[in-house]
Structure 1
Amino acid sequence: MAEQGENLKLRDNTYMYFRYYPSEADIVLILIHGIAEDHKYLKPLAAYVANENLAHVYTPDLRGYGDYAETKGDVDYIGQHDDDLMEFMDYIQDKHQHSKVILGGHSAGGGTTLRFTTHAYSQHISGYLLLAPFVHFMAPIMKKGDSENKESPNQAHVGRIMKLMMLNRLHMRKRNHQEVLTVHDPANENPAKLKGLSYRLFMSRLPDSYKRSLKRLTKPALVLIGDQDEEFEHSAYKPLFSKYAQSAKVTVLPHLTHDSLLTSSHTFQAIKEWIRQF
């Protein structure tokens, strides 16, 4: 059966678009996209996992992303993606009864995945696949002088983020719609592309407390990062996970960047060996 696109109707009568890559396996992998892209760029990895019969793969567009988003770059409240993904997992469990579920993500998709380690729905998750995960902007994975990174198309407004964090601690949320991440991508001329993220969407992509989330990462977890990653400091991952999540397997892959990690045969092989342990 070929891959197919579908829509899932959510509780508020909006729709979550996703791609489904069928397999003959008894494992399901939900693979979540990064901070500024929708599901499309995950296709090579998703197709590989499904074609190798390692797992059925689903690549959803989170709320605020994709061609069918009602409001690009925004959600209604912090944590709305969690609620959407819970409904999505209910749908998957109904469709694939008795199958194990692996939750995974690339970059901010990894951050979104880590949110679920402290969530009640973690009981339905058998493992975690973290690909160059954006653990948190306050975690030691961030490159020094990151705001001056000329290679990144994303500009984070750090001062505004910190100010809004303080206001939210005081339960003042009226400004959570403000843009805190601007996306500059000259190569993408699509007028419908994502141009920026609100504070409430940005914070929905990261754990509330990365240390707490990592400590709760007790189920099998594979962390892959390239040693040429432009976004994050690859050498910080092993010490970080060793300190808070000893059960996670962290592998640094040579000669791979933030995005080439997703299309490398070395990545594919590492994922194949890991999934076959389930």
Structure 2
Amino acid sequence: MSLTANRPGTVSAPGRFGPAQLRLALAAPRPAAGLTSEFRLVDGVRTHTRRSADPGTGAPPVVLVHGLAVSHRYLTPLAVALGPTHLVYVPDLPGFGLTERPGTAYDVSRHAAWLASWLDAYRPGPVCLLGHSFGAEVVARLAADRPELVAALVLAGPTSDPAARSRRGQFGRWLVDTAREAPLQAPILLRDVANARPWRVFATLSHSVHNAIEADLVRITAPTLVLAGARDTVVPPAWRTEAARLVPAARTVTVPAAAHNVATTAPAQVAEAIRDLLAPTWRG
């Protein structure tokens, strides 16, 4: 696949999310499909990280950062798809998944500072950071503030569109998107909301809609990919185009037939796009 900066690209149609993928997503902390779990203290928070084995290819490590209300679980299909060529880490942010729950909900700045501490703790070297949805806001802030930590950046379904930058606006778009998602994702969402607690989800949404991601996008210097599903109603075409325009020399990829959870339902296509982004510095 060949992409040109700021020119839309497409990849082949996504696959399905079925029972096998659901079992794998819910497996942690048990080992499964080459993924293992570990716990480490990061910035005073007992942190769970799902990771793959190092394939020994010399490719940059990839760190996957989940979105609002969810955890490592729904990013498991992408971690498995990337595993043959990349060492992959999927940390649970503070309060989510299997990571300890602090007494407050972190905003974008505090999440980004925590993620920098996570990178300092693991010392993987400059990494490719993928942030999905709210996670894209976190990695955009980190890439802007700590460019030395980031070899490349993927903003997958980045929130939030200024045209709907309110709790009502974002929740309304999410409700429309749920009808376009694979139904078997629902057990993952229910488990993740139960782990995080509804109050944390609501508070984090409030932080998201008060975060002007545009101010971070214009400061990004790493090679960047803005990626979304063609049927994503949370991140419509006009906003993803504008987000890519704000980042110097960003590329764009649209995955046909996928909705907002593109990393879950189209892992092979997203992995292909990540490898293409990293091709100038590594070829597997």
TM-score (norm 2): 0.71
Mapped contact 1:80–1:204 kept (Cα < 8 A) = no
Within 5 Å, give how 1:23-38 maps onto structure 2.
23=54, 24-26=56-58, 27-38=60-71
CA distance 1:198–1:34, shift in 2 (3 Å): closer
Mapped contact 1:140–1:236 kept (Cα < 8 A) = no
- The match for 1:246 is 248
Identity rate of aligned residues, in percent? Answer: 21
CA distance 1:217–1:77, shift in 2 (3 Å): closer
Where structure 1 has 5 or more consecutive residues not aligned to the other structure, the ranges are 154-184
- The match for 1:138 is 162
Please give the alpha-carbon distance, in whole angstroms, between the structure 2 residues aligned to 1:57 and 1:206: 29
For residue 117 of structure 1, the aligned residue among 127, 140, 143 is 143
Please give the alpha-carbon distance, in whole angstroms, between the structure 2 residues aligned to 1:209 and 1:224: 19
CA distance 1:140–1:219, shift in 2 (3 Å): farther
Mapped contact 2:75–2:263 kept (Cα < 8 A) = no
Within 5 Å, give how 1:55-204 maps onto structure 2.
55-71=86-102, 74-75=104-105, 79-93=109-123, 96=124, 99-119=125-145, 121-134=146-159, 136-138=160-162, 147-149=171-173, 150-151=175-176, 190=191, 192-194=194-196, 195-197=198-200, 201-202=204-205
Where structure 2 has 5 or more consecutive residues not aligned to the other structure, the ranges are 1-32, 179-185
Q: Across the two proteins, how many residue pairs are aligned to each other?
A: 235
Moved more, 61-70 or 254-263: 254-263
Displacement of 1:68: 4.1
Please give the alpha-carbon distance, in whole angstroms, between the structure 1 residues aligned to 2:107 and 2:271: 35
- The match for 1:3 is 35
TM-score (norm 1): 0.72
Equivalent position amino acid for 1:8 in 2: R
- Partner deviation per Cα, 1:92-118 (whole Å, 9 max, x = no partner): 22xx4xx43111111111111111133
- The match for 1:211 is 214
Mapped contact 1:20–1:56 kept (Cα < 8 A) = yes
Mapped contact 2:108–2:211 kept (Cα < 8 A) = no
Q: Give 3-state SS (helix, strand or coil) of 2:135's partner.
A: helix
Mapped contact 2:64–2:130 kept (Cα < 8 A) = yes
Displacement of 1:274: 1.7
Please give the alpha-carbon distance, in whole angstroms, between the structure 2 residues aligned to 1:86 and 1:42: 20
Equivalent position amino acid for 2:251 in 1: K
- The match for 1:255 is 257
- Partner deviation per Cα, 1:240-264 (whole Å, 9 max, x = no partner): 422x213110122222111144332
For residue 223 of structure 1, the aligned residue among 222, 226, 244 is 226
Displacement of 1:276: 2.5
RMSD (Å), alpha carbons: 3.2
Mapped contact 1:141–1:233 kept (Cα < 8 A) = no
Mapped contact 1:30–1:102 kept (Cα < 8 A) = yes
Please give the alpha-carbon distance, in whole angstroms, between the structure 2 residues aligned to 1:273 and 1:78: 28
Q: Give 3-state SS (helix, strand or coil) of 1:126's partner.
A: strand
Please give the alpha-carbon distance, in whole angstroms, between the structure 2 residues aligned to 1:187 and 1:7: 21
Mapped contact 2:112–2:139 kept (Cα < 8 A) = no
Displacement of 1:140: 7.2
Q: Give 3-state SS (helix, strand or coil) of 2:176's partner.
A: coil
Equivalent position amino acid for 1:129 in 2: V
Equivalent position amino acid for 1:246 in 2: P
- The match for 2:16 is none
CA distance 1:251–1:211, shift in 2 (3 Å): same
Please give the alpha-carbon distance, in whole angstroms, between the structure 1 residues aligned to 2:189 and 2:215: 37
Equivalent position amino acid for 2:112 in 1: D
Equivalent position amino acid for 1:40 in 2: R
CA distance 1:260–1:116, shift in 2 (3 Å): closer
Equivalent position amino acid for 2:114 in 1: D
CA distance 1:261–1:2, shift in 2 (3 Å): closer
